[in-house]
């Protein structure tokens, strides 16, 4: 009975991060609020054609990570899926992915996109190179007990849990791989844009200094 409170405490920060901000009641009572600045455009990817916006947005990455977190929190505890405590590292990693996805979506700092790409790449590598072969090689069609000094008794077993986890790891692994590629492409694009802005500022400062001295 300890699992539901833990699930709720884990979901609250993610739900709060994914939900859109609501206007303050006090500000609404005072009158029309000041016009908010337009949201930042979706960062382009260096790997997309003509530097077009990313085909996988950071909000989509956060939504998939939240769905992954929700699935692993709601899987029943027991012999098939194990205790909830064993899933907490993956749940924590999903929460970090959600956090950095939303920070990268709302900011323009290239290092946020770089950290997000590293998080996504590690998640994809873990799912595709470790968990996928593990679930594939541990499929059992019967469960046996006894042996050695006692009679070995086997019963039929339906490994639907392994197939479910295999499908989940395959889906998230492929998605996180594509998201990591485009996140790194967004990092490269924002880094180059920042370098160009610095170069233009330096050129403008040098030109202004030359006019002043002249």
50 band by pLDDT with thresholds 50, 70 and 90: low
Q: For 162, how many CA atoms within 13 A lie in the half-sphere containing its CB?
A: 13
Give kind and range of the element (H or E) at residue 151: strand 150-156
pLDDT value for 25: 41
Give the gyration radius of the chain's Cα atoms: 25
Q: In this structure, what DSSP letter does residue 52 have?
A: P
Q: Could you give the percent of the chain with pLDDT greater than 70? A: 69
What CA–CA distance (Å, rounded) separates 175 from 84?
24
Tell me the average pLDDT of the chain. 79
> Alpha-carbon distance 97 to 69, whole Å?
10
Read off the pLDDT of residues 180-190 as tens digits, 9 standing for 90 and up.
998 998 888 88
Residue 104: closest CA among 118, 92, 90 = 118
User: How many other C-beta atoms can be found within 10 angstroms of the C-beta atom of residue 137?
Assistant: 8
What is the pLDDT confidence band of residue 171, given thresholds at 50, 70 and 90? very high
pLDDT digits (tens, 9 = 90+) for 60-83: 999 999 999 999 999 988 878 888
């Amino acid at each position: 009975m300890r699992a539901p409170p833990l699930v709720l405490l884990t979901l609250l920060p993610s739900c709060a991060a994914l939900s859109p901000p609501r206007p303050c009641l006090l500000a609404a009572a005072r009158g029309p609020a000041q016009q908010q600045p337009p949201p930042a455009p979706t960062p382009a990817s260096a790997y997309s054609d003509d530097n077009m916006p990313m085909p996988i947005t950071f909000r989509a990455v956060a939504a998939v990570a939240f769905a992954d977190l929700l699935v692993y929190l709601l899987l029943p505890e027991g012999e098939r899926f194990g205790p909830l405590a064993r899933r907490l590292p993956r749940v924590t990693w999903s929460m970090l992915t959600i956090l950095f996805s939303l920070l990268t979506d709302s900011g323009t700092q290239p290092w946020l996109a770089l950290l997000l790409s590293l998080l996504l790449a590690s998640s994809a590598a873990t799912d595709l190179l470790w968990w996928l072969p593990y679930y594939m090689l541990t499929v059992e069609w019967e469960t046996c007990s006894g042996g050695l000094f006692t009679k070995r008794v086997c019963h039929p077993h339906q490994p639907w849990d392994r197939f479910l986890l295999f499908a989940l790891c395959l889906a998230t692994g492929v998605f996180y791989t594509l998201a990591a590629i485009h996140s790194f492409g967004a990092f490269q694009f924002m880094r180059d844009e920042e370098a160009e802005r610095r170069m233009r500022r330096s050129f403008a400062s040098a030109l202004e200094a030359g006019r002043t001295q002249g």
